Amino acid sequence: MSINLVHPSSKGYHDVKTTNSYVKGRPQVPQECIEFVKNNKLFNLNDNSKVLDLASGTGKFTELLAKSNFKDITAVEPSKEFRDSCSEILQKLKDTDKPDLSFQVLDGISTSIPAADESVDVLFVSQAFHWFSNTDSLKEFSRILKPNGTLIMIWYDMDLSSDVVNKYADVVHEKWYDGLAPQFRSYKWKKALEDFKPIFEQAGGKGLIDPNLQMEKFHFNQKANKQVCIERALSISYISHLKQETKDQIIKEVSEVLDNHPDSSDNKTFDFPYRVELYYTQKK
C-alpha cells in the first residue's frame, strides 16, 4: 500500500480525526489562482483538458478545479481517509451543480502515479511538493504529462505580517515543530529542481519538465475564529500524530494566544491572512 512509501511525518494524515480537522481548519486558495492558470494562453487549457491533482488531500483544491469547470479530473492521494473526503466532495458537486463532471480518486504517490504515459494536460500539486521533492518525482511528472503539458505547484502559507497570526505561528510552527517534517517555507524543496537541471540539459530538454520555474503571487484572507485555528493546528502533520495529552496542551496554548489578543478575543471572527506562491513550468 502507498501509505508505507510516504514520509513518516505525513502518516498522521491517515486518520479520520485529522481529516476532519483538515476540512474544518484549512482554507481554500482563492479562485483567481485557478483562473490565472485556466485563462493563461501559454498553457492552452480548456474545460475538457485532462487534469490530474496529485496529493489531492481532502479535496479542497480539487473542488476548486471542478468549480472552475474542468470536467475531466483525476485526484491521486495516498491517504484513504483523505481520498474518501475528496470523493465525497466531488460527488456532491457533481450531483448538485456539475453534472458533466467526470472524476476519479485514486491511490497513488508521486513516484508511481496511476496515469498513462503522456496522458495529462495539466498536473497540479497543491500544498504538497515539499513532501516528495526529488528527481524521481520530477521524472514521473514528465512521464505522465503530454508534450507542452503544464506543471502547476502552489502553496499558501500564513502571512506573519498579522500580529495575531504571527503569535499563533510561534506556537504551531516554531515551538511544536518536530524538526523532521518537510516545510514549504524552508524552500529546501527547490533543491530538487536544481538537481534536475543537469538531467534536463543532458537530454536537451526533450520529453522532460523544464526545472526553471516561473512564479505568480496572490494573497487572501480566511475568516477564522478560535475553533478554526484549533482545527488548523490539529491538521498539521507533526501535530496530528502526537498523543492526546500533548494535543490538549497545544490547544491550551493556542487558546491562550487567541483569547488574549484583541483581534481574536471573545471568539471573534477575524481575518487570517495568507500569501500564495504559484509556480509553473511546462514539459518540453
Q: Give the bridge partners for 274, in sequence order.
A: 158, 220
> For residue 130, is it within any domain?
yes
Q: Are 284 and 141 in contact (CB under 8 A)?
A: no
The residue with cell 496529485 is 54
CB 242 within 8 A of CB 108: no
What is the Cα–Cα distance from 38 to 47, expressed in whole angstroms? 9
168 found inside a domain: no
Domain that holds residue 113: 2-159+184-223+273-282
pLDDT tens, the chain, 284 aa long: 455 566 565 555 656 888 899 999 999 999 999 999 999 999 999 999 999 999 999 999 999 999 999 999 999 999 999 999 999 999 999 999 999 999 999 999 999 999 999 999 999 999 999 999 999 999 999 999 999 999 999 999 999 999 999 999 999 999 999 999 999 999 999 999 999 999 999 999 999 999 999 999 999 999 999 999 999 999 999 999 899 999 999 999 999 999 999 999 999 999 999 999 999 999 99
Q: Is residue 234 part of a domain?
A: no
| Strand ranges in the chain using DSSP code E only, listed in sequence order | 50-54, 72-76, 102-106, 120-126, 145-158, 214-224, 270-282
For residue 19, is it within any domain?
yes
| Structural domain count, the chain | 1
Assigned domain for 112 exists:
yes
Cα–Cα dist 115/170, whole Å: 41
- CATH for 216: 3.40.50.150
Q: List the one residue out of 15, 28, 21, 7 whose CA is nearest residue 178.
A: 7
**Do residues 173 and 232 lie in contact, with contact meaning Cβ atoms separated by under 8 Å?**
no
Residue 36 covered by a domain: yes
Residue 255 domain-assigned (yes or no): no
Beta 120-126 vs 270-282: how paired, if at all? unpaired
Distance between CA 79 and CA 77 in Å, rounded? 6
> Grid coordinates representing 272?
487570517
Q: Which helix (H) or strand (E) holds 266?
A: none
145 found inside a domain: yes
